Chain A
Amino acid sequence: MLNEFVILMKQELLLCIILFITLILKISENENNPKNWIGIINGLLLINFLAGFFLSTTGELFNGMFKVSELIIFEKNILNLGLLIVSLMAQPYLKNHKHLPEFYMLLLSTLIGMFFMISSGNLLMFYVGLELSTIPMAALANFNLNKANSSEAGMKMILSSAFSSALLLMGVSFIYGTTGTFNFTQITASLDNNALQVFAFVLLFTGFAFKLSVVPFHFWTADVYEGAPVPVAAYLSVVSKAAVAFVFVTVLYKVFGTMANLWYVLLFLTSVLTIGIGNIFAVRQENIKRFLAFSSIAQVGFILVGISSGTKAGEASMIYFLLIYLFSNLGAFAVVNVVSTMSGKENISDYKGFYKTNPALSWFLTIALFSLAGVPPTAGFFGKLFLLTSGASTGNYLLVGFAAINMIISMYYYLRIVKAIFMDENAMPIASIKTEILPRIAIIICIVGILATGFMGSVYNYIYLLSSGI
């Protein structure tokens, strides 16, 4: 029994151990040099990522509250990789920060929360995991303690997430009132789609939409991304969003599979709004972090198109796209982080003439932006191709056509930055930046991921084998 417990929860337990190691480092603060810690913690995170591939047993714990399947292990490995890349790219920001161990403690506790959320087979476990992943996130958004922007971002994040979890809990309470259980399989068995359950489902959907920043509920996103430190914004836009998307699909397909007609309409409307408004607002942004925030909102809209099909291909294409999106968005954020910490410049107009002074970083940023836009040789193209093909399988060509047209519109604003980098003249370009070794490793992992993932069909086949439809 104990053996089974340790093996099934090995990824969570490993993260807990690393969390305690950072705590011990914090206590012995005076003797050690913070610069050594970054190396130690990154090494531990690398071990943690590699350990995810060994001893993959599947099963259930606590009467189905905690489930582990091969797909869940794969999703956790994706998130571990995201954490590793964020931790590597955060080095220039963190090396002079006096609260370095706290940064990692908060980061690791959010990831533990996400793992419990992904593994949950019960609404109680799901709620606890969700809160464990959002409350430390708000503290992280406020990590530049003496900057008003950063505390404003933290305030907006914690208040909007508290409001959204209140909505979500109201939905959970009505689900409980009509079915009498919190267990996912038992809920599915006793759903009869009466009016109260539909109302409860819409409230649950709203809660998820807040966390995923789907359009009617996206107002916090851009402000938080702009105010938060760049590594936190990167983590928020990729890892935290991917975790919520994984659970969202599980809840839609496994728990509310009988309400497919209802949530298809909801996904249709919200995805059209999300893609449209994300694109319109991304066009007029001047700050590159706000720009990446709205571009990530638009990308969520494409994910919604993919999962609206409710098929096996829908789930597989969503996970595949999120893997690619992790590489592309973290690659873009890594370059932005290097530039922002070294020169303090965050506006798109500051990037004019960037190629003259920093050719390597310019190419990396360009490849990442091409992948986000979905230009063919990069992996982003294949990710969007699979999402739209899966969305087209329901026969709703209006939605897929709208998404495809918006892909072309999105080219405009991604290429606007590329144009600023390569073509625009600037009397005072950003000075030549010497990238340190850790962020350089992060950027190289991202670029290799972007170029390789699209051509390795075996990745998609592997995910397709593991996933399941309604």
Chain B
Amino acid sequence: MNGVPLTHMIIVSTLLFFIGAYGFLTRRNLIAMLMSVELMLNSVNINFIAFNKYLFPDNLDGLVYTIFIIAIAAAEAAVAIAIIINLFRNTRSIDAEYADKLKN
């Protein structure tokens, strides 16, 4: 396996993961927060595929796991967007700052 070494893949995926985590914690738009989470899930996918390809090329465990993650992330995004639309109908806003009715 010449060309890109495994460490580079891991660096890319780790960077993506923390960009996603930073976005989740700083963005106040709910759709942008959802996108940040998707970014984190995609970085995990890169991790799985890189490990499978470089370290354990005999079986396809990592690839199968990735397919499941993609499918479940799609389901999660569908439910999340449905909830966000419902929130928008009720409050006329998708800003996390205005979703603060639940407080003591």
Which A residues form the contact surface with B (CB < 8 A)?
A: 123-124, 127-128, 131, 135-136, 138-139, 142, 145-149, 151-156, 158-159, 162-163, 166-167, 169-170, 172-174, 176-177, 180-182, 222-223, 226-227, 284-287, 290
Chain A residue, CB-CB nearest to B100 = A152
Q: A163-B24, A163-B37, A285-B104 are in contact. Are A158 and B76 (CB under 8 A)?
A: yes
- One of B51, B64, B79 near A177 (C-beta < 8 A): B51
Please name all residues of chain B whose beta carbon is closer than 8 Å to the beta carbon of A159 when the two chains form the complex. 24, 30, 33-34, 37, 80
For B47, give its contact among A135, A136, A173, A222 (CB under 8 Å): A173
Q: Which residue of B lies closest to A168 (CB)?
A: B44
Closest chain B residue, CB of each to CB of A145: B86
Whether A135 touches B79, Cβ cut-off 8 Å, given contacts A151-B86, A176-B61, is yes
User: Nearest Cβ in chain A — how far from B1, in angstroms?
Assistant: 15
Given contacts A139-B79, A170-B44, A173-B48, contact A154 B86 (CB under 8 A): yes
Q: Chain B, 44-62, contact with A by CB distance < 8 Å: what is the 0/1 string?
A: 1001100110011000011
- B104–A152 CB distance below 8 A: no
What is the count of residue pairs linking A and B with beta-carbon distances less than 8 angstroms?
A: 127
**Which 9 residue pairs spanning A and B have beta carbons closest together?**
A166-B40, A173-B47, A148-B90, A151-B87, A177-B51, A223-B102, A154-B83, A169-B44, A162-B37
- In the complex, what residues of B have CB within 8 A of residue A182's CB? 61, 65
Binding site for A on B (CB under 8 A): 17, 20-21, 24, 30, 33-34, 37, 40-41, 43-44, 47-48, 51-52, 55-56, 61-62, 64-65, 68-69, 72, 75-76, 79-80, 82-84, 86-87, 89-91, 99, 101-102, 104
Verify A152–B80 contact, CB threshold 8 A.
Answer: no
Asked if B47 and A170 sit within 8 Å, CB to CB, the answer is yes
Let me know if A142 and B102 touch, CB within 8 A: no
- Which residue of B17, B43, B68, B90 contacts A128 across the interface (Cβ within 8 Å)? B68
Question: Is there an interface contact between A148 and B83, defined as CB atoms closer than 8 Å?
Answer: no
Which chain A positions have C-beta within 8 A of B104? 222, 284-287, 290
Query: Which residues of A have CB within 8 Å of B21?
Result: 163
Contact B76 A162 (CB under 8 A): yes
* Cα distance, A159 to B94, chains bound together (Å): 13
- Taking CB atoms, residues of chain B closer than 8 Å to A167 are 40
Given that A124-B65, A176-B48, A180-B56 are known contacts, is A152 also in contact with B72, CB under 8 Å in the complex?
no
A163 touches B40 (CB 8 A): yes
